Structure 1
Amino acid sequence: MAHFRYKGRTSQGLEQQGVIEGINELAVTEQLIRRGIMPTQIQPSHAAGTTDWSLLFERQVRLEDLVMFSRQMYALTRAGIPILRAMAGLAESTPSQLLKTALAQIGDDLGNGKPLSSAMQAHPKVFNTLFIAIIHVGENTGQLEDAFKQLAEYLELELETRKRIKTAMRYPIFVVMALVMAMVVLNIFVIPTFASLFAKFGAELPWTTRFLLATSHLFVNYWHWMLGGTLGVIVLWRRWVSTPEGRYTWHSWQLRLMIVGPIITRTLLGRFARSFAMMLRAGVPLNTAITLVADAVDNAWMGKRIHDMRSAIESGDSLLRTAMHSQLFPPLVLQMIAVGEETGQIEHLMQEVAEYYEREVDYDLKSLTARIEPVLICIVAGMVLILALGIFTPMWDLMSVVKGK
């Protein structure tokens, strides 16, 4: 299909412009009228790829925008508003340019007869596979409004968890940044002043002083190499993590980190349980639900083991046996899965597991600062001790020599 650049006005008189895909100008005119836009100008566009340069800088839709979109779609579909009209209205009001463009194109696809889930599949940066699967089930069962409600509740809990993690990490990150700034200032401005003083006396210096002088010399004379090396390490690290092998290894290391590793593990298990419960409650088949949940946990190491669970289930094993062999889940989750298989209520028990882990994570995050504080205090105390021994010890020696003379 060709791309056409258009200008027009809505029923409220607001001016609209953009690029739309269509067979010819007549088809584009019909699409715009269905979206509530009266075209005033339509001409072929040679920019087939990017309609807005801001899209190049907006790599992914914020979770807050998806929560608001799901809530609004739930309210509109529950009120009986047609999907096409709802998409057109939300496309005009959403603050995200990436989401706005996606909704406009989805509206065009709906006007051409595509199902909603199929239209969303063309925008993987906006809607992930879990989102699309829930919408697909809602379409086929006639419960689209319930699908949007489930997605809104799930995304709101995910957003709340992320906010709690950011709040808990704010204090440690601030302290670490302050320590780094203090090290830079001391090595560049403070220690060189004492170095010139010590050099005048020519006395033998203790190892702590020699260590401080060496680090200061490194900062002052090779700061550009250090900056370039740091940037190079960051670039190489990001490239390595972006590879499948690097991402898998890094995600496995995350679960073994001191203090925060158990918190990450509980967060992922809670996400697994809630996603799995939502999938089963929506009517998604078990094998498909496991595949979607493996992507939803956002951890390559755990996702691979969840994918292995699907292969074992397809070979005839039960969910409980595959969960035990995966070595991912503690006895609590395994017991819930066993009871759920016996009673046929896995989704309800997985919901209970998710709520349990969310409470655990909430408690862990509240006490995270108290756990990290001793480590930070030890680091600060070590820095102060080295500075005190490295600067004041030779000064005391020099004062004693002066007094002796």
Structure 2
Amino acid sequence: MINFSYQAIDDTGQLTSGTLTAPDYRSAARQLEERGLTLIKLDETSQKTAPHKHTSAKGVSRKELILVLYEIVTMLRAGVGLHEAIESQCKSGHSAGMLFAFESMLGQLRGGTSFTQTLKSVKLPIPEYIYYLAEAGELTGKLADALEQGVQQMEYDLQLSSDTRNALIYPAILVLSGIMAVGIMFLFVVPKFSSLLDGDSELPLLASLVLNSGTWVNDNKIFMGVLLGIAIAGSITLWKHSGFRIMTLNYASKTPVLGSWINESDIAVWAKMLGVLLSNKVPLMTALSLASRASRIPWRKLKMSQVIKKVKGGVSLSLALEQEQVITPTAINLVRVGEKAGELPATLASVSRLYDQASRNRMKSLLSLIEPLAILIIGSAIGTIILGIVLAITSANDIAV
């Protein structure tokens, strides 16, 4: 048996409240109806479902959220009611923040609030397009389909971020190792030959620069350490600042090689988002607005706002995209075909697949350039140091090189 607290209106129109015990929510509601009460609010108060100490849904990871939403979609497809699907999540082994969120949602759903509104109220780390898809799903009676497509988009976004991050790990380690090797050379190897600077023989320019640099670094270890710490801290602080990241991305998107990769990836995300929203009966203007927010590049967002204005003024989407030159000619042609055939969501999905694959291939090509380039730069730096030392030794011993 479960304890419930309730608020209801009696026959005289007065607000009343109290507690009762019942095996489940429906039995408790039936008891109140038998008493002639009009239910306003009914919450479980037993220890089994008492609120957690947490007062928010903070700390919920995107991976956990994707898994939970997939579980809800599976249950909805199996014919389980929405209330029962959410209630089952309250009894699962999720994190405290997630359990708090679903307990809050369950109480609101029982009070008559829509699923979309309850989802917004718990402030889970959900992209805004999920709310619009959920609302469209509720209106069309296809909530499971809408949620599944939204979760697939979330999964795609997460995979894209993960792939990019993983792809940059090896080059980053390579560059860091090279910097450490050069630092060790300057701190421990070059100073061993600093005595050659005291001789009367004139050293070659390269040898003099290497030995003087090594000596200066060795004499100013503390200063160099502090300077390096400030540089690292400053870089981390700047990178955490969203304005700096946006500015960097905006500039990088206009570079010859890196820009192609960034733009193709961004077009893929935009096309997939727009296609998913349109396939779930989200109005075109709303879908365009949401899809433009999914774009990460500032100049494209600005041009997309102009596209939205033109479409609102009666211009076709393909023509507006062409006038603003916001996506590639190939993508524009596919959008135009989709408009004429009445299959815009399907063609947008094709655009997304095309540019997603192109961006992945571009990423592989870019990384294939980064690795040898990093090795070349690091090898050149170490080779220069070694050459400087060798020149100093041979010059000091009057050996012809």
Q: Calculate the TM-score normalised by the size of structure 2.
A: 0.80
**Letter paired with 1:230:** A
Q: In the aligned structure 2, how far is the partner of 1:148 from the partner of 1:104?
A: 20
8 Å CA contact 1:135–1:144 kept in 2: the answer is: yes
Judged with a 3 Å threshold, the aligned counterparts in structure 2 of structure 1 residues 102 and 41 are, in CA distance, closer, same or farther, namely closer
Distance in 2 between the 1:121 and 1:297 partners?
Answer: 22
What is the match of residue 14 of structure 1? none
Aligned to 1:15: none
Per the normalisation by structure 1, the TM-score is 0.79
Following superposition, the deviation at residue 102 of structure 1 comes to: 2.6
* Paired AA for residue 324 in structure 2: S
CA contact (8 A) 2:265 2:359 kept: yes
2:179 is equivalent to residue 171 of structure 1: no
**Do the aligned residues in 2 keep the contact of 1:171 with 1:369 (CA within 8 Å)?**
no
Residue in 2 that maps onto 1:263: 261
Contact 2:201 2:395 survives alignment (8 Å): no
1:59-103: CA deviations, max 9, x gaps? xx4332232122111111112223233223324546454434333
Can you list the C-alpha shifts for 1:97-151, whole angstroms capped at 9, x where unaligned? 4434333322222232211111122344511211111111001111111112212
Cα distance change on mapping 1:141 and 1:102 into 2, 3 Å:
same
**Alpha-carbon distance between aligned partners in 2 of 1:29 and 1:203, rounded to the nearest angstrom:** 100
Contact preservation (8 Å) 2:268, 2:355: yes
Q: Displacement, 1:28?
A: 9.8
Structure 1 residue 237: deviation in Å?
1.7
Ranges in structure 1 where 5+ consecutive residues have no aligned partner: 1-8, 12-21
Cross-structure match for 1:39: 47
Query: Secondary structure of the residue that 1:80 maps to in structure 2?
Result: coil
The equivalent position to 2:353 in structure 1, one of 355, 358, 361, is: 355
Question: Is contact 2:203–2:395 with CA below 8 Å preserved after alignment?
Answer: no
Tell me which residue corresponds to 1:337. 335
In structure 2, the residue matched to 1:19 is: none
Would the aligned equivalents of 1:277 and 1:351 in 2 still touch at CA under 8 Å?
A: yes
1:317 paired residue number: 315
Structure number with greater Rg is: 2
Aligned match of 2:28: none
> Structure 1 189/112 Cα, relative in aligned 2: closer, same or farther at 3 Å?
farther
Instruction: Indicate the RMSD between aligned Cα atoms, in angstroms.
Output: 3.6
Residue 394 of structure 1: how far off its partner (Å): 0.3
Contact 1:168–1:368 (8 Å) recurs in 2: no
Contact 2:191 2:214 in 1 (8 A): no
Unaligned runs of 5+ in 2: 9-16, 26-42
Residue 135 of structure 1 contacts residue 148 of structure 1 at CA under 8 Å; is this kept in 2? yes
User: % of aligned pairs identical?
Assistant: 20
Deviation at 1:261, TM superposition (A): 2.4
Q: Secondary structure at the match of 1:127?
A: coil
Tell me if the contact between 1:134 and 1:282 (Cα under 8 Å) persists in the aligned partners. yes
- Residues 91, 364 of structure 1: CA spacing in aligned structure 2 closer, same or farther, 3 A cutoff? farther
Please tell me whether residue 151 in structure 1 is matched to residue 159 in structure 2: no
Change (3 A) 1:303 1:66: farther
Q: Distance in 1 between matches of 2:197 and 2:286?
A: 72
Q: What is the aligned partner in structure 2 of residue 3 from structure 1?
A: none
Q: In structure 2, what is the Cα distance between the partners aligned to 1:204 and 1:29?
A: 99
Residue equivalent to 2:242 = 242
Give the secondary-structure state (helix, strand or coil) at the position aligned to 2:126: coil
Distance 1:28 1:122, change over 3 A: farther
Distance 1:95 1:190 in 2: 55
What is the DSSP-based 3-state SS (H/G/I as helix, E as strand, rest coil) of the residue aligned with 2:47?
strand
Rounded Cα–Cα distance in structure 1 between residues aligned with 2:20 and 2:198? 85
Name the residue aligned to 1:201.
Answer: 199
In the aligned structure 2, how far is the partner of 1:67 from the partner of 1:236? 30
Aligned match of 2:224: 223
* Segment of structure 1 superposing worse, 344-353 or 367-376: 367-376
